[in-house]
């Protein structure tokens, strides 16, 4: 099984490979990381970060916190790498002066407990060993102020029984837009739809697969849908009713972002 590759932002040069410790919290290095290399507060309280890649939301607190990492490095108990969702300068400074590779702009929910990962603090690349990455295009199709939801079959390999958009794997040499148009025809029998907006890529983890999803908002003039075998049903819903349905992770917030940007 291939390894996934995520592109974040490189902040402190160097490379590291280790188990990742994920702390879904802001951390103040001064006071919330002990001089023995343990997180002292929050969901990761009493967790050792020595020799691990520490992934957390971002930093907070005193600028003196930069030196916490330098002290840990001098005692050979520092983390081997740092990942933030959104970096704060104090943590970046601590990583640089301690020569600890660091990246940010990486969502924490792509990691699972026990994952072994590698990071490149120059390029911003993050790999999760043993996790396969699949590129997907998802179409949010609208018509007359309503959104098309497809009900996934109960035996679907991913997110069975949930309501979703029109999705498919991006094939070789295919753009996400072409994938979306192909899937509309294959899954729904819809040949004509106009592109309103393509959103930024999002990542969704499901067991040992990491989906890199390109979401797009399309509009059609037809309500007629001819389902193939991939889905068990469909419904057109008012845009504001999307939260009433069970959908895959990040589906609702992605749709709301597209609608806001397209001013629907």
Question: What's the per-residue H, E or C state across 227-264?
Answer: CCCCEEEEEEEEHHHHHHCCCCCCHHHHHHHHHHHHCC
Distance, CA of 216 to CA of 197 (rounded, Å): 6
pLDDT, tens digit, 9 for 90 and up, residues 80-114: 999 999 999 999 999 999 999 999 999 999 999 99
The CATH topology of domain 132-262 is: Nucleoside Triphosphate Pyrophosphohydrolase (3.90.79)
The ranges of the chain with pLDDT < 70 are: 1-2
Calpha distance 32→125 (Å, rounded) = 27
CB 92 within 8 A of CB 83: no
Cα 44 to chain centroid distance, Å, stands at 21
- DSSP element (H, E) containing 25: strand 15-27
Q: What is the pLDDT of residue 1?
A: 41
- Distance separating alpha carbons of residues 70 and 98, to the nearest angstrom: 5
Do residues 137 and 183 make contact, with C-beta atoms less than 8 angstroms apart? yes
Q: Which of 4, 18, 48, 62 is catalytic?
A: 62
Domain boundaries defined on the chain? 4-128, 132-262
pTM over 0.85, yes/no = yes
Residue 2: per-residue pLDDT = 52
Fold of 4-128: Glucose Oxidase; domain 1 (3.50.30)
Q: How many Cβ atoms are within 10 Å of 107's Cβ, its own excluded?
A: 16
Please provide the size of the chain in residues: 264
Model pLDDT, residue 16: 97
Catalytic-residue membership of 48:
no
């Amino acid at each position: 099984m291939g390894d996934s590759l995520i592109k974040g932002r490189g902040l402190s040069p160097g490379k590291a490979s280790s188990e990742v410790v994920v702390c879904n919290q802001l951390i103040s290095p001064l006071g919330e990381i002990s001089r023995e290399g343990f997180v002292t507060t929050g969901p990761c309280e009493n967790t050792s970060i020595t020799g691990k890649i520490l992934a957390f939301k971002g930093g907070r607190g005193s600028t003196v916190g930069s030196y916490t990492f330098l002290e840990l490095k001098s005692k050979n108990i520092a983390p081997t790498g740092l990942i933030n969702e959104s970096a704060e300068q104090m943590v970046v400074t601590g990583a640089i002066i301690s020569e600890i590779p660091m990246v940010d702009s990486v969502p924490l929910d792509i990691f699972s407990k026990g994952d072994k990962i590698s990071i490149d603090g120059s390029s911003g690349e993050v790999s999760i060993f043993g996790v396969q990455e699949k590129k997907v295009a998802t179409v949010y199709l609208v018509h007359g102020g309503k959104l098309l939801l497809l009900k996934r079959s109960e035996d679907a390999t991913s997110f069975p029984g949930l309501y979703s958009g029109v999705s498919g794997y991006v094939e070789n040499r295919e753009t996400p837009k072409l994938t979306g148009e192909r899937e509309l025809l294959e899954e729904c029998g819809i040949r004509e739809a106009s592109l309103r907006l393509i959103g930024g890529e999002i990542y969704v983890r499901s067991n040992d697969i990491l989906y890199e999803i390109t979401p797009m908002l399309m509009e059609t003039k037809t309500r007629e849908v001819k389902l193939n075998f991939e889905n068990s049903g469909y419904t057109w819903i008012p845009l504001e009713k999307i939260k009433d349905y069970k959908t895959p992770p990040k589906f609702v917030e992605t749709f709301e972002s597209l609608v806001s940007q397209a001013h629907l």
